[in-house]
Copies of this chain bind each other. A is one copy, B any other.
Amino acid sequence: MIEKFQHTINEEIERFSSEISIPPAELYEPIRYMLSLGGKRIRPLFVLMACDLLEGKTENAIHAALAVELFHNFTLVHDDIMDNAPLRRNKPTVHSKWNSSTAILSGDVMMVKAYQLIGRSNLSPDIHNSVLTAFNEMAIKVCEGQQWDLNYEQLYRISIPQYFKMIELKTAVLIAACVKIGALIGGAKEEDAKYLYEFGKNTGMAFQLQDDLLDVYGQEEKFGKQKGGDIIANKKTFLMLKTSDIVSSNPYMREELDQWMGIKTLNEKDSSEKVRAVTRIYDFVNIKKITEEEINAYHQKAVVALEKLSAPVEKKRVLIAFTSALLQRES
């Protein structure tokens, strides 16, 4: 089932990419480039799976599925400019391959194209409206989340609730919107759509914490991410904030962590030393286990929300199995 959906999504992306093989090439080529970089396409998959869960026709959800993937890629392109990121999935980011103007503008077009795709879906007026409303609310929240992220970069310290709120807005509500939109297209009542939204939000939280964890404890360096990249960049992650909380009662460890966190390392050797030293503190406070427990807690909340939903048990199991598999990846 999942393979079939993946196939459909890839076909749809291919079709869309050839549709935008039009001038001005400077505008549309970066969009095709972003879509060609791949990725697991989990957002459109969630749209189709949620629609299927409600026993809806997934062919009605395919445009919305592509729309969320385009929206996601739009945020990546614009975020990469703001973060000054040179690489994305081991390939040059749009603004570094072309330039910032091109990245701004092709990002803008991706957002409009997402709306255009939703408009193309063959939906009843009521469903069309509720899908658009869900999409708009999500889009606003994702932008707010990115702004909090930018704000928090300027702060020496943020609280864990602040961090959770930020990743909820920046990351989790997009997954939440995906399953909600899929469910709405599948014919879900507002209440059921809410349960799925809860499922998606908690799943999204678990995914982000998993990302935080894999940065340090992942097995391989994949997707262009350097191992311990978050540590090197002094990024505020759950691991860092929680560890900082724990060591606050231990002046010796706190001083050491603070010292490392104040360093903007320059060369590779110093970077590796920093990652090793911070990881030693992480290990000492058992942050891996703590984070895994947090991930499990969110995953459980997601499962509980899904259980409340009126839908075939075997289809729920597929969705949970898919989510669990993603949470068990090791890189």
Contacts and interface: CB of A to CB of B under 8 A. Distances in A.
B111 A27 contact: no
A41 interface: no
Interface of A: 24, 26-27, 78, 81-82, 100-102, 104-105, 107-109, 111-113, 115-116, 119, 125, 128-129, 132-133, 136, 139-140, 143-144, 146-148, 150-151
A144 B24 contact: yes
B112 A136 contact: yes
Contacts of A144: 24, 27, 109
A139 B210 CA distance: 37
Main secondary structure of the interface of A (DSSP, over half): helix
Q: 6 smallest A-B Cβ distances: which pairs?
A: A125-B125, A82-B101, A27-B147, A112-B139, A116-B136, A24-B147
A150 B112 contact: no
A78 B108 CA distance: 9
A76 B111 CA distance: 17
A143 B82 contact: no
B115 A100 contact: no
Nearest to A74: B108
Tell me the number of copies of this protein: 2
B129 A119 contact: yes
Contact of A105 (B100, B129, B136, B146): B146
B104 A116 contact: no
Contact of A104 (B27, B78, B119, B148): B78
A24 B148 contact: yes
Q: Which among A24, A100, A132 has the highest number of chain B CB atoms within 10 Å?
A: A24
B78 A143 contact: no
A136 B115 contact: yes
A105 B78 contact: yes
Given A24-B147, A116-B136, 20 more contacts: A24-B144, A24-B151, A26-B147, A78-B105, A81-B104, A82-B100, A82-B104, A82-B105, A100-B100, A102-B150, A104-B104, A105-B150, A108-B108, A108-B143, A111-B111, A112-B136, A112-B143, A115-B115, A116-B140, A119-B136
Contacts of A143: 27, 105, 108-109, 112
A100 B78 CA distance: 11
21 contacts: A24-B151, A26-B150, A27-B143, A27-B147, A78-B105, A78-B108, A81-B104, A82-B104, A82-B105, A100-B100, A101-B150, A102-B150, A105-B147, A107-B108, A109-B144, A111-B111, A112-B139, A112-B140, A115-B132, A125-B125, A125-B129
